[in-house]
């Protein structure tokens, strides 16, 4: 069995985590058996997780509705900068997509003129008069432009129930723990409304559709801190009375995994659980252990990475490590611990364990790149097939090129798996500990790398 060699590693990590739990918590829950039963609608209360500016952590907002910006464009900020990009740099933490929605809603003015996607007249600028330029989302600001912006109300995103199988690790009336497969997005977003974990959960909860509110509806690449994530799933087929009925179902997402990442994820099933779990994630008390396969070996076999993470200004779908005096208002403190569990392919790769102290977007992927060991299969952060193949050939000159080519060509995602998840049960206070080995694709890559090492 491909997974047999995982179990010593999983067992060792699980026993270590159990000892930590016993020493830090008065109660401890052994790894519970799987349950696939559906919870009863009558036993659930709705999850309510509205977020306001009062919920901000470290100065970063979780709600932007009504936020206003009135500012004149300075010379240093006007070098061919798009209007939406310029505004997004002035409002800490907001996404460019949210700014674009506000522009299209007619809530942005330049020099007293409303910027509209259908208008072809440029706003008047006495400093640099320009004629016949389209004033739209892509309008480039100029020195002296006076910009007024009000962020539009976030419109709920509709999600429909879909009959997608869920690998349920544990379920009770308060929480649902699932083993997310690779290539599944956690929640719907513009351009990706179907096939997500939320769609599957709606079906599991016997809800035909829902409106997703109280979150920035962006792709997983946007820099919403995982520790601050709150997604409310609100059924749309309920009457006003049903909406206030504590028996109505309204699950909540309090953290997420990247599309390519497999592994454990918890979903809250009522108001109390949602609020309690959200606080645990914000307090960094949730135990999260990941397994990865990296390209190459780190300089030290174990260590701690503590470096800020922020948006890569050259690629908005990518995050980057922010070092030295380059900290900005949008960068966030991030810390991870790593340990090499096994050297693979004579140093061409490694099986590395990661323990998160914080939960930032793409944190492990960014920290792995920062250490010079990008995850195998992570095209966005340097773990390209060409890079992986080059290093494997360098470390294994006696291995046939065809064998290495076939190995690398089979990699379809970043080799990252959320193996361990531990938290205090939001109702009982007991420490809940879950673990699951990586899926078949991860195991197959690991097996092939081990064969090269022989």
The model's pTM is 0.70
Confidence of residue 13 (pLDDT cuts 50, 70, 90): low
The dihedral of CA 224, 225, 230, 231: what is its sign?
positive
Distance CA(90)–CA(70), nearest Å, equals 10
Fold of the CATH domain 289-453 = Pseudouridine synthase (3.30.2350)
- What tens digit of pLDDT does each residue of 51-95 get? 333 333 334 455 678 899 999 998 776 667 889 888 988 887 677
**pLDDT of residue 49 exceeding 70:** no
- What is the arithmetic mean of pLDDT over 12-34? 46
| Residue 74, Cβ density class (10 Å: 0-12 exposed, 13-18 middle, ≥19 buried) | exposed
For the chain, how big is the Rg over CA atoms in Å?
A: 24
Say how many residues make up the chain.
454
Q: Considering only residues 173 and 54, tell me which one the structure prediction assigns the higher pLDDT.
A: 173
Active site residue 386: no
SS3 2: helix
Q: Considering only residues 137 and 412, tell me which one the structure prediction assigns the higher pLDDT.
A: 412
What is the pLDDT, as a whole number, of residue 238? 47
| 50-54, 129-133, 143-147, 440-444: the lowest-pLDDT one | 50-54
**pLDDT of residue 394 exceeding 90:** yes
Distance CA(374)–CA(377), nearest Å, equals 9
| 18-22, 43-47, 97-101: the lowest-pLDDT one | 43-47
Q: What angle do CA 393, 398, 404 make, to 5 degrees?
A: 45
What is the pLDDT, as a whole number, of residue 217? 44
- Residues 445, 293: contact at Cβ < 8 Å? yes
CB proximity list for 149: less than 8 A, separation 6 or greater: 68, 69, 70, 87, 91, 99, 102, 107, 108, 109
Other C-beta atoms closer than 10 Å to the C-beta of 304 total 12
CATH 3.10.290.10 maps onto the chain at 64-150
Mean residue pLDDT of the chain comes to 78
- Nearest CA-CA partner of 62 in 209, 195, 254: 254
Confidence of residue 234 (pLDDT cuts 50, 70, 90): low
Q: What is the 3-state secondary structure (H, E, C) of 107-172?
A: CEEECCEECCCCCCCCCCCCCCCCCCCCCCCCCECCCCCEEEEECCCCCCEEEECCCCCCCEEEEC
CATH 3.30.2350.10 maps onto the chain at 289-453
- What tens digit of pLDDT does each residue of 111-127 get? 988 887 554 444 454 44
| 9-18, 142-151, 169-178, 408-417: the lowest-pLDDT one | 9-18
Query: Which among 214, 222, 223, 258 is annotated as catalytic?
Result: 258
- What is the arithmetic mean of pLDDT over 394-402? 93
**pLDDT of residue 132 exceeding 70:** no
Q: What is the CATH number of domain 64-150?
A: 3.10.290.10
**pLDDT of residue 10 exceeding 80:** no
SS3 11: helix
Percentage of the chain lying above the pLDDT 90 cut: 46
**pLDDT of residue 330 exceeding 60:** yes
| 66-70, 98-102, 369-373: the lowest-pLDDT one | 98-102
Distance CA(249)–CA(201), nearest Å, equals 11
Confidence of residue 254 (pLDDT cuts 50, 70, 90): confident
- Residues 102, 94: contact at Cβ < 8 Å? no
Please list the residues that pair with 355 across neighbouring strands.
289, 337
Q: Considering only residues 164 and 10, tell me which one the structure prediction assigns the higher pLDDT.
A: 164
Distance CA(208)–CA(196), nearest Å, equals 14
Please list the residues that pair with 356 across neighbouring strands.
336
- Does an H or E element contain 29, and which? strand 28-29
- Residues 256, 201: contact at Cβ < 8 Å? no
Write phi, then psi, for 242 (nearest 5 degrees): -65, -30
Other C-beta atoms closer than 10 Å to the C-beta of 306 total 13
Percentage of the chain lying above the pLDDT 70 cut: 68
């Amino acid at each position: 069995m491909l997974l047999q060699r995982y179990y010593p590693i999983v067992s060792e990590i699980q026993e270590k985590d159990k000892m930590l739990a016993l020493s830090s918590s008065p109660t401890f829950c052994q790894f519970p058996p799987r349950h696939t039963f559906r919870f009863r609608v009558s036993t659930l209360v709705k999850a309510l997780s509205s977020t306001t500016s009062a919920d901000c952590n470290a100065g970063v907002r979780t709600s932007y509705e009504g936020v206003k910006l009135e500012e004149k464009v300075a010379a240093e900020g006007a070098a061919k900068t798009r209007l939406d990009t310029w505004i997004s740099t002035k409002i800490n933490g907001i996404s460019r997509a949210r700014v674009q929605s506000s522009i299209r809603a007619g809530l942005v003015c330049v020099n007293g003129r409303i910027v509209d996607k259908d208008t072809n007249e440029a706003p008047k600028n006495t400093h640099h008069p320009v004629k016949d330029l389209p004033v739209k989302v892509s309008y480039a600001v100029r020195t002296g432009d006076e910009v007024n912006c009000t962020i539009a109300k976030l419109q709920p995103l509709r999600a429909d129930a879909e009959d997608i199988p869920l690998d349920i690790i544990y379920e009770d009336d308060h929480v649902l723990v699932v083993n997310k497969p690779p290539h599944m997005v956690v929640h719907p977003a513009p351009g990706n409304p179907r096939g997500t974990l939320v769609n599957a959960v709606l079906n599991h909860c016997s809800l035909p559709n829902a409106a997703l509110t109280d979150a920035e509806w962006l792709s997983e690449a946007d820099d919403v801190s995982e520790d601050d994530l709150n997604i409310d799933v609100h059924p749309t087929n309920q009457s006003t009375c049903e909406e206030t009925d504590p028996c109505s179902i309204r699950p909540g997402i309090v953290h997420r995994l990247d599309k390519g990442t497999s592994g454990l994820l918890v979903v809250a099933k009522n108001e109390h659980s949602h609020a309690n779990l959200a606080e645990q994630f914000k307090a960094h008390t949730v135990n999260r252990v990941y397994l990865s396969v990296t390209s190459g070996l780190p300089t030290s076999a174990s260590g701690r990475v503590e470096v800020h993470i922020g948006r890569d200004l050259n690629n908005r779908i990518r995050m980057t490590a922010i070092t030295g005096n380059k900290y900005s208002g949008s960068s966030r403190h991030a810390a991870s611990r790593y340990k090499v569990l096994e050297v693979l392919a004579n140093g061409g790769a490694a099986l590395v364990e990661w323990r998160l102290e914080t939960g930032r977007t793409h944190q492990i992927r960014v920290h792995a790149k920062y250490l010079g060991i990008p995850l195998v299969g992570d095209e966005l952060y340097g773990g390209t097939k060409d890079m992986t193949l080059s290093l494997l050939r360098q470390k294994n000159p006696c291995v046939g090129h065809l064998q290495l080519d076939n190995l690398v060509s089979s990699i379809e995602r970043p080799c990252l798996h959320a193996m361990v998840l531990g938290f205090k049960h939001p109702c009982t206070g007991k420490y809940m500990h879950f673990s699951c080995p990586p899926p078949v694709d991860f195991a197959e890559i690991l097996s092939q790398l081990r064969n090269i090492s022989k």
